[in-house]
Every structure is written in C-alpha cells, then in structure tokens.
Structure 1
Amino acid sequence: MGVDAPWLTPTVELLARSDRGVVDGNGRVPWREILGEATDLAAALPRTSHGWVVPAECSVRSLVGLLAVGLAASTPRWVLGDPARWGAGRVFRGLVREAGARSAPPTEVEGPTYATATSGSTGAPRLLFGRPHALPEAVRLYTGGMPEYEEAEVFAACSDLDFAAAFYVVVLPALLLGRDLLLFRPHQWTVAARHLADRPGVCLAAPALGTLAAGAAPAQARYDRTSFVPAGGGLTPDRARRIAAGLPGCRFLTMLGSTETGLLTVRREVDDTGNVGLPLPGKQVWLEDVGHDGVGMLWTRGPDTRFAALGGALRARPDGSVSAGDLARPAPDGTGYLLAGRVDDLIKVDGVTVYPATVAAAVRALPGVTDARVSVDRSGPVDRVTVLVVGEVTEGEIRLACAGLPSPVVPARVLIRASTEAAFDERGKALR
C-alpha cells in the first residue's frame, strides 16, 4: 500500500457488512452506518496545510472523524486530541477541525503522519507521531500474539480516545477487526458489565477505576471470557480480587507499554513480584546499558512504535528503535522482566541510586494499602520524594517501610487518601 493510499481501505468491506459497532448506554450504532457518514465526509475533505484534528471524546462523532481521515483519497496528517488546543482553522461539518501549525510534526518529518495527544505523567499535553499505514500491522501484531484479541467480540475502554492505551489496544482492534467498541465512563460500569457479560472481550481501565465495577454485574452474569487490561499499571493482588468480585470470573491481561513504545510485554498472572511478563510475540524487546545490578534500559522496535515527538524528548533511532526510558532486569526464573522504574525518575539518596518501583512495592506491601505511587520533585537543589498512598495506613508506617529499603528513602511528603477516587483521575494518573 502506498503512503498516499487511504490506510483504512482494506477494512472498508469488513465494516460495510458488519452488524457490530459503537456501543453505549443507548445501544449500538453499526459500523456500516458510521462508515457511510465517514465516506461522505472523506470525499469532501479539502486539502489543508497541517491536516485535521479528530476530537477524542467518547462518541460516535469521534469515530466518524477517525474513519474519515483514514478514508481520504490522499492521506492527510491528523491528530487525535482536543480540537481547541491543536486546531487553528474552521470546523468542517461539525466533525473535524483544521489543524494548526503547533500540531505539525518536526520539520524533518515528511509524508503522512498521525499523532495522539498525551499528557504522560507531566500533565502537559504533547504530540507523539507515527505512520498511519503501520496501524493495521500493529493490530495484526496484537491478534497474532494474544488469543484474547483474536477471539474478542467486544473491546471496551473507560477513557477518552487520545489516551494511548485506549487508542492502540482497544479502539484500533475494534475498528480494524469489525468488532463491538464499548466506550464508557467510570460511573457507567453497569452499562459496561451488561455488554461484557458472557462474551469474549477485552476491557481496559485503570485499576483504580476497575474496582468501581463492584455491584455492576447483572445477576448470575459471568466474565470468564473477559480479559481486564489494567491501564497505567498499579494492579495489585488486592485490586485484582476487588475487580474480580465485581466481574466474576474475569481474567487479567497485564501489558507493559507506553505512548512512545507501543505494547512490549504481556503477563497473565497477578502477584507482588513486579514481573511485567515476556515480550509480545513478534515484538523485538531488549535491554541496553545494563549495569552491575543487572538493570538496563528497555528498547523496542515494531509497527506500533512512534518515531517523533513535539514538546517532549523521544528516544528514537533511524532504524526504528524506540525507548521510553523504562528500566528493567530479567526475572530470575526467565519468565519476563522485573520493572525498576524510568531513567528520568531515578532517585539519588546519599549518592546511591534508588528505583521508584521498589519504593512503591515496599509501601504496597503494608497491610491496609491498596495502591502507592512515587514521584520525584527536582526543582530544588536535591531530589524530593513524594509518596502517594491509598488505603488505611499511618504516615509513620509508610516512612518505616521506606526506611527499611536497602537504600533508605526519606519522603519529603507523604499523602494518604482513603479512596482511589480521591487519589487518581479518570486515566489512573495521580492527582496533584
């Protein structure tokens, strides 16, 4: 397929005959209806200097816009994000907006691109760019490496579409495979539970939000064929039990990945070891710059990696290798990798390197703790550590757990929240 040919063309026939579609509390809008409106919009899209912005809201409107830019005769550049932030021109037919110069890729990048707008852990939105014609290959990578994806009848996400995990591991598979796409909010678990019940499916939500599923399932409903994907990490055994209590029988498909690198590893067990699983079959993953402690930086190469960034550094090489700075060591039993944190978040305590993931694991092990996050403030002359904890625990117990680490950590701040709703936003990011 040429770089100017519509990247969604191979999917048109499948969507045209599919009875599946976008699902919400009001029912299902079939893909064939969305395709019809998108085809009309694509034929009328004028040329623009910087392409189009597709709104990232959880709506059929967003999917019409996404299909339209994927069907346009000469593939345009496009951004999935907030039109008010990334757009600078007119709104076309109330569905897409002309992109502004601030949403263009770096000047050295030529040809069609797409971008997702992500805030990462900083809270400052930035754009990360990929090639749209690689997206079908990314879905083939997922379905070829995970039976759960090949068998799924419904893909569900509790997030806006520009959240990278939602776009890549839920929206794209549903669209390119012609399956049901369920988009819901944290207060709509009853809708999600109804459409996921007794069907093979994949459901992505931050673990903090997945625990809200308790009581949502219809009477006698089972979820033995539902794979729950925890977005953003933080899936502890306690949280897994609470989610499984809300969705009886559900399984877990834990993935390590990022907006930059795409999906790296997959694991189906939930425990306290910090094991993030083996590389996805077909995805190249390796460690570089391994230190004396066995910890190195994860690098990867594959169709779902992004290759350029705007407003933020991206570790990318001409051969397509990408790293988000994740640090890991091989698991002793050969079953995967033990994640140590990110290189940008490493903490120096009296000249000794401390891994944030180790600190979080020590705090999560305390009785009464359901989750913990560690952040580092580098605005002053020394690193200042903040530990955010959800659960019933005292500050003294938290500080004692940190002091008991091989490289003791003295938190500058300890924040305790009684509930996940008070600690994390709808994407599972820690509230500031």
Structure 2
Amino acid sequence: MRVERSVERIRRYAETSPAHGAIECGGLTISYRDLADRLDRRQAELAPVVRPGVPFVIGRPRSPEFVVDFLAVLALGGVAVPIDPGLPAGRREILERHLTAGPAHEDGAYVFFTSGSTGTPKPVLGSAAGLRHFLDWQVAEFGIGARDRVAFLTALSFDVMVRDVMLPLWAGGTLVIPAPGEAEAPEAVVAWLTRRRISVVNVVPSVAWSWLRYGAAPCPSVRTVFFAGEPLTGVLVEQWHETFPATRVRVNFYGTTETTLPKVYKRLRRFESTSGLLPVGKPVPGAGFTLAETGEIVLVSRYSSHGYLGLPEETAARFTRLAGGETSYRTGDLGRLDDAGDLLVVGRGDDEVKVNGVRIHPAEVAASIRAGGEVHDVFVTTGPLTAYVVPVRVPFDDAAVRRDLMAVVPPAMVPSRFVAVPALPQLPNGKIDRAALHRLDVAAPDAVHVRPSGELERWVAAQWTELFGTPDVGAADDFFLLGGDSITAMQLAARIRRDFGVALSVRNVFANPTVALLAQEIADRQLAQIDPAELLELLAQAERS
C-alpha cells in the first residue's frame, strides 16, 4: 500500500530531530520522538479495526489526539475520514452512511465531502500520491522548514485541514493547535497568532477579512500566507499587510476537493494592479488546465483524486481518464486568461456557492428542508442563501424549521431567510421562474419596535448594533434578517463567554435569533451554572428582602 509512505517522512524526523517540537497545543509540546512513540501505540490500538484502502472515521475534535489518529490511519494504509464531532448528529449519520459503498483503493488517503446537486453530500477519495506530490512541491517552492510554525485553524470538514496538519510535519516544523477556548472568535485570532509566533497560515479570504476588521495590533511573526477557497481581491492583500507587515510570501491557490489539493497558484505582490479579483495564476508542476468552449475550467493532473466514493455515474460525469495516466476534472467554475496568461476565476456555471470557503449546493439545502416534513415544496437561491417554501401549515414557523435544519446540516448551510409562498412559480419548460419568485418576495411590514428591557437584552442589542452597524436594535429584531451568519455568531459567542462566562455554540446563537431569546438563553445558562445550595440561599435572601 502506497498510502503508508505519507507517514514515513515524518517518522524520520524522530531520528534526525528527536527533541524538536512537532506539535504544540496550549501548554503541551510533543517532540518528534514523542510523536513517533504515540503513533506507534495508536497504530497498535487501531490495527485490528483499520483495513487497508477502506475509509475509517476519525471523530475527534481538533487536537493533538486527532493528529495522531489521522497519521495512524495513514500509516496503517487506511483512508482517513475526519468528521467534526461538532456537526449535528443527523449530519454525521448522513456522512457516515455515504462511506459504506465503494471498493478499497490502495492509493486512497482521505475522504472529504462536497455538497451535491442531487441533494446529498458526495464523498471524494483523495490520493496519497497526490498528497505527497503536493507537499514535496510546497515545501521546496516556498521554503517551508524546521523553523516554521504552522497554525491549525481550518475546520475539520474542509480539506485545507490536510495542509494545515501535514505541511509543518512534512517540513520538520511545528504544528500549533489552539487549545479549547483559544482563537475561537475572529477578533482573538491575530493576538493568538502573535502569542504563538505563527509563521505560516492557510486562510479563506472571507475568514481573513473577519480577522482584519477589528484593528488588532500588528502581528510580526506571519511571513507566509496561503489564500484558498474563495475569490481574492487586491484590497484584501493590501489590508493584510497593515495587520501582518512581516508577510513576504503571499500565494493565491486554486483547486477543488476533487483534484487532491490546489492545482493552480499565483505568487502575489503586496501592491496588486487591481482592487478587484486577483488571478489564481498558472499550474503547479504535474498539473494543467484548459478552458472549455463554455468557459468552464477543466483541471488536468496525474495527481487527481479517485472520484466520488461509491458514485460511479457522478464520477464519470465529471472525471475523464486521459492517455498517459492523467485525469481531467470539470470544475463547474468559469474562467478566462488575463493579459499575462494567468487564470482568472470569474464565477460558476451552476448555482453552487461558497460560504466561508465551504462549498454549498442549494439543492442539498432544499433536500434537507424538504425532509423535515414542514413544507410541501422548497426552492433555495443564493446571494444571500434564501429558501422559498410552500408550507404545510400557515402561518409558517420558520424558526422551527431552522431549528430542525440545524440538527442535520452545518451552520453555513442554514438559509439567512425563509420566504413562504403559496406555490413555486414555473416557466413553460417546467423550471422555476426566478423572476416571479423575486416578485413574490415582498418585504414584510415593519415589525413594531420593542425596546430592549433589562441588562441582558440591552447588552445583546448593543453587541448587535456594533456587529451589524444597525442603530436602535429592538428586542424582537432577527439575527438573520440583520445579516447574521456563522462568523458573526462566533464573534457573538466569544463576547458572551468573555463577559458572562457562558459557553454558547454557533448553533445556540442560531436557535435563539432575537435579542430577547438570546438574552433569555444567556440568563438560563447562568442560572444552570449556579450551585443548587447557593441558588436556594439566593432565593431565600430574595424572599426575606
């Protein structure tokens, strides 16, 4: 099995640099020698259950233990499948169900899921040879070495996570993992990067913006940044240097989960010639691209993935095996060449969108809403994600549907808006009439403004005013209608933890979408943290007074 070779290089550092730090998390430092010992023990524990070439789910949170499990599965020839334990239980079940099909593959290294136009997630089988090829090139091309400290900040469901984990260990450097409670909110990230002396980061442009917007003190340690997952603008590159003035290597990557890591790249100057979209450049060695007549970008490589696990028809629709061992993949992205011959990604040929770097297909969101049983029909549009629903019951309870949806999909797939309509309008060819939908989408009458009452409601309203730039926020105002998303929810949850010592998840914020509801949730959580004896004493004091 060739996948085991992906760990051999890391093991060699246990011999050549045994005391050098391989992983840091909080106050814990794991040397390369210690990492090798932990890996040996974990391999022995997993050997009876990990089968070569077969997917194996890793359900740990981001942690040193997760990294050891990931490496142990690779070392045993298995296929690592990171599934974030923070996902809703229903979503985890759906993902694991899609791992049951498909034969073993000796070059399989990992599986990540992409959103599917059929309404179900598609498992992509990444290539071990492709992983090794990319890491060899990235380390050499950008001078990554033993002195580098790489941040592990990417969500476990996003394939960039593989670069977070493997790049520093491939180069003999140090992987730095935030401890629980560290770097959870965007406004805390820059200070964490400085404190942990991070030199290399992988980041999605929209997430980078969320780091930059708070005017944090400049971080002197980050010298290399790899942008990927979304369109990148010259404005962001310039803003980046105000907060990260030491950055000398700036790279815009382009690729898809289906191609096993990026296949096109562009080194960026600090001052780009445009404030608009920046090119993604030219192919990495061993890859190439063509533009179809429609403008669709077709990526070509000897190191592509092995397609969609257990979905031969969908694989055949997107992948083509070429002469000489290469594979082409139709990305669905639209592109053109700029005057320098660099590739510029200009849009999509279908409805697929990215939210914080996560690929989302509206059909999958619609299928998840439909499965809840509260709607006769539904159609989801993008920009922002909006669900037009034909409800089973009137009036339509969008809050209940949102809560049910959050039990089976990640936060990025929850629509910002639900619009109830009597029927989905159709064109003569049977397709949805989008123009008619927008005409039905009449703004609801303004709700009666209810002033926040009590200290907690006033605190929540003040935070929303700051986060959304909306003055005079009322107790009944809606988080989603004001423009709330998963990043805003993370920011809000961090402030709640800071000021009240209450730990709320993004899902908790989504489930309490008004000022009044969120304030009540905070109060209930505070009450639950009080010792029962102390609570009885407080109640007795209240009665006496």
Fold shared per TM-score above 0.5: yes
5 Å-filtered alignment, 1:421-432, equals 422-425=484-487
Please report how far the alpha carbon of residue 133 of structure 1 lies from its aligned counterpart in structure 2 after TM superposition: 4.5
Residue aligned with 2:134, SS: helix
Aligned residue number for residue 281 of structure 1: 284
Q: Which of these residues, 243, 247, 255, is aligned with residue 244 of structure 2?
A: 247
Residue aligned with 2:196, SS: helix
**Structure 1 residues 257 and 100, CA gap change in structure 2 (3 angstroms):** closer
Please report how far the alpha carbon of residue 323 of structure 1 lies from its aligned counterpart in structure 2 after TM superposition: 2.0
5 Å-filtered alignment, 1:125-204, equals 125-144=121-140, 146-149=141-144, 153-167=148-162, 169-184=163-178, 185-187=183-185, 188-189=188-189, 190-196=191-197, 201-204=199-202
Alpha-carbon distance in structure 1 between the residues aligned to 2:146 and 2:289 = 29
Q: Is 1:52 the counterpart of 2:52 in the alignment?
A: no
Q: Which of these residues, 58, 61, 65, is aligned with residue 61 of structure 1?
A: 65
Aligned residue number for residue 293 of structure 2: 290
Residue aligned with 1:287, SS: strand
Contact 1:20 1:179 in 2 (8 A): yes
Alpha-carbon distance in structure 2 between the residues aligned to 1:56 and 1:163 = 15
Alpha-carbon distance in structure 1 between the residues aligned to 2:176 and 2:442 = 37
5 Å-filtered alignment, 1:82-97, equals 82=84
Larger radius of gyration: 2
Please report how far the alpha carbon of residue 38 of structure 1 lies from its aligned counterpart in structure 2 after TM superposition: 1.3
Please report how far the alpha carbon of residue 321 of structure 1 lies from its aligned counterpart in structure 2 after TM superposition: 1.4
Please report how far the alpha carbon of residue 320 of structure 1 lies from its aligned counterpart in structure 2 after TM superposition: 4.0
What's the TM-score once normalised by structure 1's chain length? 0.68
Alpha-carbon distance in structure 2 between the residues aligned to 1:5 and 1:375 = 34
Contact 1:375 1:386 in 2 (8 A): no
Alpha-carbon distance in structure 1 between the residues aligned to 2:487 and 2:114 = 12
5 Å-filtered alignment, 1:21-420, equals 21-44=22-45, 45-48=47-50, 50-55=54-59, 57-72=61-76, 75-82=77-84, 102-104=98-100, 106-107=102-103, 110-111=105-106, 113-120=108-115, 125-144=121-140, 146-149=141-144, 153-167=148-162, 169-184=163-178, 185-187=183-185, 188-189=188-189, 190-196=191-197, 201-214=199-212, 222-223=220-221, 226-251=223-248, 252-261=250-259, 262-267=261-266, 268-269=268-269, 271-291=274-294, 295-303=295-303, 305-310=304-309, 313-314=314-315, 315-318=318-321, 319-345=325-351, 386-388=382-384, 412=438, 418=468
Aligned residue number for residue 404 of structure 2: none
Please report how far the alpha carbon of residue 425 of structure 1 lies from its aligned counterpart in structure 2 after TM superposition: 4.5
Q: Which has the higher helix share?
A: 2
Contact 1:213 1:246 in 2 (8 A): no
Alpha-carbon distance in structure 2 between the residues aligned to 1:130 and 1:316 = 14
**Structure 1 residues 87 and 254, CA gap change in structure 2 (3 angstroms):** closer
Residue aligned with 1:344, SS: coil
Decide which moves more: 174-183 or 234-243: 234-243
Please report how far the alpha carbon of residue 376 of structure 1 lies from its aligned counterpart in structure 2 after TM superposition: 6.7
Alpha-carbon distance in structure 1 between the residues aligned to 2:128 and 2:301 = 16
Contact 1:193 1:247 in 2 (8 A): no
**Structure 1 residues 27 and 239, CA gap change in structure 2 (3 angstroms):** farther
Please report how far the alpha carbon of residue 381 of structure 1 lies from its aligned counterpart in structure 2 after TM superposition: 12
Alpha-carbon distance in structure 1 between the residues aligned to 2:209 and 2:344 = 25
Alpha-carbon distance in structure 2 between the residues aligned to 1:339 and 1:220 = 31
**Structure 1 residues 423 and 382, CA gap change in structure 2 (3 angstroms):** closer
Amino acid paired to 2:75: L
Q: Which has the higher strand share?
A: 1
Cα deviation, 1:169-214, whole Å, max 9, x if unaligned, reads 32121122221112344424122222236xxx32122333323445
**Structure 1 residues 426 and 12, CA gap change in structure 2 (3 angstroms):** farther
Alpha-carbon distance in structure 1 between the residues aligned to 2:14 and 2:488 = 30
Amino acid paired to 2:284: P
**Structure 1 residues 382 and 4, CA gap change in structure 2 (3 angstroms):** closer
Contact 2:292 2:298 in 1 (8 A): no
**Structure 1 residues 235 and 260, CA gap change in structure 2 (3 angstroms):** same
Please report how far the alpha carbon of residue 427 of structure 1 lies from its aligned counterpart in structure 2 after TM superposition: 13
Alpha-carbon distance in structure 1 between the residues aligned to 2:361 and 2:73 = 38
What's the TM-score once normalised by structure 2's chain length? 0.55
Residue aligned with 2:201, SS: strand
Please report how far the alpha carbon of residue 236 of structure 1 lies from its aligned counterpart in structure 2 after TM superposition: 3.1
Amino acid paired to 1:333: D
Cα deviation, 1:225-245, whole Å, max 9, x if unaligned, reads 522223421433443344333
Amino acid paired to 1:211: W
Amino acid paired to 2:484: A
Please report how far the alpha carbon of residue 375 of structure 1 lies from its aligned counterpart in structure 2 after TM superposition: 8.3
**Structure 1 residues 226 and 216, CA gap change in structure 2 (3 angstroms):** farther
Contact 1:154 1:181 in 2 (8 A): yes
Cα deviation, 1:35-69, whole Å, max 9, x if unaligned, reads 21111121342145645222352100101111212
Amino acid paired to 1:285: G
Residue aligned with 2:297, SS: strand
Amino acid paired to 1:61: E
**Structure 1 residues 14 and 206, CA gap change in structure 2 (3 angstroms):** same
**Structure 1 residues 227 and 5, CA gap change in structure 2 (3 angstroms):** closer
**Structure 1 residues not aligned, in runs of 5+:** 89-98, 347-355, 358-372, 390-408
Alpha-carbon distance in structure 2 between the residues aligned to 1:375 and 1:126 = 11
Alpha-carbon distance in structure 2 between the residues aligned to 1:421 and 1:68 = 42
Residue aligned with 2:35, SS: helix
Contact 2:55 2:110 in 1 (8 A): no
Alpha-carbon distance in structure 2 between the residues aligned to 1:206 and 1:382 = 30
Residue aligned with 2:12, SS: helix
RMSD: 4.5
Amino acid paired to 1:194: R
Please report how far the alpha carbon of residue 423 of structure 1 lies from its aligned counterpart in structure 2 after TM superposition: 3.3
Aligned residue number for residue 9 of structure 2: 10
Contact 2:58 2:83 in 1 (8 A): yes
Please report how far the alpha carbon of residue 128 of structure 1 lies from its aligned counterpart in structure 2 after TM superposition: 1.0
Alpha-carbon distance in structure 1 between the residues aligned to 2:212 and 2:6 = 40
Aligned residue number for residue 395 of structure 1: none
Residue aligned with 1:127, SS: strand
Alpha-carbon distance in structure 1 between the residues aligned to 2:291 and 2:225 = 31
